[in-house]
Amino acid sequence: MHTNHSYNDLLALRRRHLGPSLSLSYREPLKIVRGRGQYLYDEAGRAYLDGVNNVCHVGHSHPRVVSAIAEQAGRLNTNTRYLHDGLVEYARRLTATFPEPLSVCYFVCSGTEANELALRLARTYTGRQDVIALDHAYHGNSAATIDISPYKFNSRGGRGAPPWVHIAPAPDPYRGLYRDTSTDLGARYAGPVAALAAAHPPAAFIAESILSCGGQIVLPDGFLAAAYAAVRAAGGVCIADEVQVGFGRVGSHFWAFETQGVVPDIVTMGKPIGNGHPMGAVVTTPAIADAFNNGMEYFNTFGGNPVSCAAGLAVLDVIEAEGLQQHALETGAYFLDELRALKDRHPAIGDVRGLGLFIGVEFVADRVTRTPDPATASAAVEALKQEGILLSTDGPDHNVIKIKPPLPFDRGNVHSISSALSQFLSAR
């Protein structure tokens, strides 16, 4: 980059030349020029702790990933129509992280493309159209993935669910239909999924293994097992969207679906898979892949190119070499303890939940009624930004602070966030 526009010129040029539906974070947007580990730096060299970017999974601009990309880009970049060691090696390494029979890969360029392909696989395999999704879910920005994303189609500018999409209640133990006061929440929330599957025999049931846009919601025990059983009994396949939560972030397991004791038929991946390099993947069973081999070639110009495979391999190497899954487990548990202690002192925090380094802090105006308090959540985000900490809000009521930092995030960083939050809440 040779040009260096003034802050105001940047805003004006953006307004003139970029689609106005793109958003910017914060009342006063940041110009970030560099990233390293769990930190981002602005033009003046001020460091910001990145508490929310789960894309740069092993750390911003990780040198090992950067050099793998640069080395391969300097040698060759083609497509999957040539034999290439990197392609099969990456497919072998990635599938090795999955239980059988998930052993076949397709490489794509984003989480959206992964979910698009998952829908096509499910539809071809079952010969059906209908899809069951969870309320408030987001699965991508394309036509078909917006159609299965209530987060979009039931919000501003949305046009509701198309006839082939059936929405089950979000299994939210804090704010949902059935709450933490009752037992057997997983089975109860699977009930509506089973009813929909019986009424509208689906091609697929798609769910994130922890709900992200839905409000950082940890699924109640037994939910996916019961929902998957019902969907399979009705002849549908089960898609786990691991775009946000995969690759060791949950700490106890490499994939978040493993925390629910299930094996999906199709798993979709994106965001962290290339540490910022635009790529995605779908992993499925040989039976589904064989059914998809119906004479129509699947070709994706950029999916699985040698540079992307080099990036993906480097990410897997770094997760292993730096023990990042274990680190997420330990740091996440410590973080949850700190946040729960904060909740004990501040009634504005209604709930703290998460697995590993995927955490939600829900703000309420009243603990008993659990009335959402989006104003306090966004005020906290702005106040912490002033302290050099980047977070954001999500959930249907925009009252949940989401925490999903690059995995090198450490105990010192936990302290920075919990003491800044504590100060903010005490000063109100």
Q: Under the rule (CB under 6 A), what is the footprint of ligand PMP? A: 110-112, 115, 138-141, 208, 212-213, 241, 243-244, 270-271
Comparing CB distances to ligand PMP, the nearer of 161 and 379 is 161
Comparing CB distances to ligand PMP, the nearer of 241 and 265 is 241
Smallest distance, ligand PMP to C-beta of residue 260, A:
16
Comparing CB distances to ligand PMP, the nearer of 138 and 254 is 138
Comparing CB distances to ligand PMP, the nearer of 241 and 351 is 241
Q: Is 132 in a helix, a strand, or coil?
A: strand
Smallest distance, ligand PMP to C-beta of residue 311, A:
14
Comparing CB distances to ligand PMP, the nearer of 231 and 267 is 267
Return the structure tokens found at 193.
């999924």
Residue 226: exposure state from Cβ atoms within 10 A (0-12, 13-18, ≥19): buried
Please tell me the distance from the alpha carbon of residue 419 to that of residue 410, in angstroms, as a whole number: 14
Smallest distance, ligand PMP to C-beta of residue 211, A:
9
Comparing CB distances to ligand PMP, the nearer of 173 and 276 is 276
Looking from the CA of 304 toward its CB, the CA atoms found within 13 Å total 25
Nearest 5 degrees, angle CA 239-CA 243-CA 247?
Answer: 105
Residue 420: exposure state from Cβ atoms within 10 A (0-12, 13-18, ≥19): buried
Comparing CB distances to ligand PMP, the nearer of 239 and 414 is 239
Please tell me the distance from the alpha carbon of residue 218 to that of residue 209, in angstroms, as a whole number: 8
Smallest distance, ligand PMP to C-beta of residue 420, A:
26
Residue 298: exposure state from Cβ atoms within 10 A (0-12, 13-18, ≥19): middle
Tell me which DSSP letter residue 141 carries. Answer: S
Q: Is 204 in a helix, a strand, or coil?
A: strand
Comparing CB distances to ligand PMP, the nearer of 196 and 213 is 213
* CB contact at 8 A, 123 and 291: no
Q: What's the Rg (C-alpha) of the chain?
A: 21
C-alpha to C-alpha distances, 261 to 116, 186, 220, nearest whole angstrom: 25, 12, 12
Smallest distance, ligand PMP to C-beta of residue 244, A:
5
Smallest distance, ligand PMP to C-beta of residue 224, A:
15
* CB contact at 8 A, 116 and 152: no
Q: State the residue for tokens 């925090």.
A: 349
3-state secondary structure 290-358: HHHCCCCCCCCCCCCCHHHHHHHHHHHHHHHHCCHHHHHHHHHHHHHHHHHHHHHHCCCEEEEEEECCE
Comparing CB distances to ligand PMP, the nearer of 52 and 193 is 52
Pairing of strands 237-241, 204-208: parallel
Smallest distance, ligand PMP to C-beta of residue 150, A:
13
- 134 forms bridges with which residues in the sheet? 168
* CB contact at 8 A, 281 and 308: no
Comparing CB distances to ligand PMP, the nearer of 283 and 348 is 283
Closest residue to ligand PMP using C-beta atoms: 111
Smallest distance, ligand PMP to C-beta of residue 137, A:
7
Smallest distance, ligand PMP to C-beta of residue 245, A:
8
Smallest distance, ligand PMP to C-beta of residue 203, A:
18
Smallest distance, ligand PMP to C-beta of residue 303, A:
13
